[in-house]
Amino acid sequence: MRSSLQQALLIVLLGLGLGVLFNAASPKGIPFITPPKAPLNPEELITLEQAKEVWQAGATFFLDARAPADFAAGHIANAFNLPADAFEEHWPRIAPMLSVDAPLVIYCDGEECELSHRLKDKLGQAGYRKVKILHNGWTLWHKAGLATQSGSGP
């Protein structure tokens, strides 16, 4: 009985050790401690009122960072869908419409939504510098009764 217990404990410890080792070696490893959320940089944000003004002026591209199904269910009118989680797949369709000097407003949905921040980082790596985030954009825009549409196109 004692020998079986020792073997079981050894197997558990070996499994735990291998799991920790593989997690540490993996580029997509799970952090042991969740890193603190970076505070929102006010210079990266655009207010709802500012977003409404640039949308009405028509010289700013609005990019929805959410998944295509969420975009199709409802989005800011004339926005384009560029999902942060499938950037490489959708970027070739969007890139020809933009110049690196084009002003962009990116949004997702919800107070905790990180998709717009991830998309901003990816666009920054591609050389886009005039990018603003409308934090909690879809909810704010929709609740304000501003122009929306549904479907897969802008």
CATH number at residue 50: 3.40.250.10
Considering the entire predicted model, what is its pTM? Answer: 0.75
Q: In this structure, are 67 and 119 located in the same domain?
A: yes
* Nearest CA among 108, 126, 125 for reference residue 63: 108
Considering the domain architecture, whether residues 48 and 20 belong to the same structural domain is answered as no
Per-residue pLDDT at 114 exceeds 70: yes
**138 and 82, same domain (yes or no):** yes
**What's the rounded Cα separation, in Å, for the pair 57 and 59?**
6
The boundaries of the domain holding residue 12 are 1-34
Question: Could you give the CA distance from residue 60 to residue 76 in angstroms, rounded to a whole number?
Answer: 13
Same-domain pairing of 109 and 129: yes
Residues 65 and 132 in one domain: yes
Residue 88 to residues 16, 85, 93, 96: CA-CA distances in angstroms? 35, 9, 10, 14
pLDDT at 79 exceeding the cut of 80:
yes
Are 23 and 57 within one domain? no
- Of 87 and 10, more confident: 87
Euclidean distance between CA atoms 4 and 135, whole angstroms:
56
| Domain co-membership, 142 together with 67 | yes
Q: E strands along the chain, which residues?
A: 61-64, 75-76, 80-81, 104-107, 131-134, 148-149
Over range 109-115, report the average pLDDT.
88
Residue 47 and residue 26 in one domain: no
Residues 26 and 71 in one domain: no
- Clarify whether residues 77 and 93 are in a common domain: yes
Within-domain flag for 143 = yes
Q: Structural domain tally of the chain?
A: 2
Predicted confidence at residue 28, as pLDDT, reads: 73
Within a domain: 10: yes
Instruction: In whole angstroms, give the CA distance from residue 90 to residue 98.
Output: 13
Q: Is residue 154 part of a domain?
A: no
Domain membership of residue 130 (yes or no) is yes
Shared domain for 9 and 81, answered yes or no, is no
